[in-house]
Amino acid sequence: MTRLSVNINKVALIRNSRGQNLPDLRKVASDCESFGAQGITVHPRPDERHIRYADLPILKEVVTTEFNIEGYPSEKFIQTVCQVKPHQVTLVPDPPGVLTSNEGWDTIGQQKMLIPVIQKFKDQGIRVSLFLNAEESLVEAAKDTGTDRIEFYTGKYAQEFPEDPKKAIQKHVNAAKLAAKLGLGINAGHDLNLENLKYYAQNIPNLDEVSIGHAIVCDALYYGLKSTILMYRSLLK
């Protein structure tokens, strides 16, 4: 079954808005796991507008399922992640100041840069995933970087899903089949929600994990956090 990793960036954003420790990220992470989350994801950014670098070792102490840290591999990011040693690091090509992750790596043009970075994490026993657009050429080049997994950017899929689900997912299906053939694990994330998640999970072969944050926090405003996580888990069965 595809694992659900809950991204708690938006919870940290709420906390930071008042300058206090409310909500308490330690408790939220632990509660998400007790409610059914099979992993916790965070994405520290240079301005630390939500998750702060100081949060990472604290969360590592309490996460009992799987801790996934996303981010751009700056020197600070690499050094901190290697110290914290999460179960997985997901490398995202975000330039400073970007609002949200909206495209994947160019694993062809940036391959030489990615290879030594990925090796640094693997030397520390950290599984590496590369954020990637669902293009077969990029998947093939990702294999040569030494990464363990890829994470498909699903923003475009989510945008096109209401009009034509089959067309929206086709590139992802093709890219996933190639990834499996190459021995790459497959994750996915960005704008997956209660409407489009089940179709995606049912049609993508060998889907290991989805990372969802914004939609879960929005749905939790209406359904509550526990009920929302259970709803998302039910779509992945």
What positions carry a catalytic annotation? Answer: 43, 70, 190
Q: Cis peptide before 23, with omega less than 30 degrees from 0? A: yes
Strands (E), 28-184: 39-42, 67-71, 88-91, 127-132, 149-153
d(CA 86, CA 56): 9
Among the listed residues 114, 194, 196, 214, the one whose alpha carbon sits nearest the alpha carbon of residue 154: 196
Distance CA 148, CA 83 (A): 20
Residues 129, 92 contacting (CB under 8 angstroms): no
Contact 10, 215 (CB under 8 A): no
Angle in degrees, CA 169, 173, 178, rounded to 5: 150
Backbone region of residue 122 per phi and psi (left: phi > 0; alpha: psi in -120 to 50; beta: other values): alpha
Q: Quick one: how far is CA 89 from the chain centroid?
A: 9
